Structure 1
Amino acid sequence: KIRTREISEEELAFAKESTLNSFIFNFQVPAQTLSRLLRYEYYGYPEDFIFRYREAVEATTVEDVKRVARTYLKPENMVILVVGNVEAIEPPLSTLNTDVEVNAIDVTIPEES
């Protein structure tokens, strides 16, 4: 839907606010903060990444979202992974699109004898 319909300024503002509000929770306690900062350093992020990130999110426009959605969101390549008890999840899944290919994989861990 996002590839074919323009998002509103209100939707973009909500997404930006949600993103920035959730980002703050990465730094709630000193151990989290240290872990994040070490990860940023390990992967070569710039020292001011957390400030750049905020600025980049705030600067995102409707046009940016449209461009990125058209470039990277390819519904024909989408894969959905559902994990769980097959008896419980198969009935609801079978009501979805009939063109969907389902590949069941048994990942049961055998009991040791």
Structure 2
Amino acid sequence: MYNNVVSGVFNKFTQNGISCLRFNFRGVGKSSGKHTDGTGELNDAKTCIDFLLNEKHFEKIIICGYSYGAAIGCSVVNYSKNPESHEIESYYDQLLDWAVDNATPDLEKLSSI
């Protein structure tokens, strides 16, 4: 959460008047709990989205993810009702293959680009 990439995105947004919520997944940094197979981390992200939409009443959200957070971000993009934008940074090698197969069921798949 406090690496240069995440801090840079956070600072750029807040300097331009955009509210930000950033967090460590369970078991990372000072967060309590234990790292899971992704199920718990996915629930953490969904809880944050619900908080922003239902408690803070934001109409638009941007989902950003860095490294492992990029994979979780791809997973929750459909859950978040209609994100304004979605950004992934430094994703792992097979993330794009996984996202095409699992995280984008409503998108038409192209045979070639």
Normalized against structure 2, the TM-score is what?
Answer: 0.23
Structure with the larger RCO, 1 or 2 (CA within 8 Å, 6+ apart)? 1
Q: Which has the larger radius of gyration?
A: 1
Which is helix-richer, 1 or 2?
1
Which is strand-richer, 1 or 2?
2
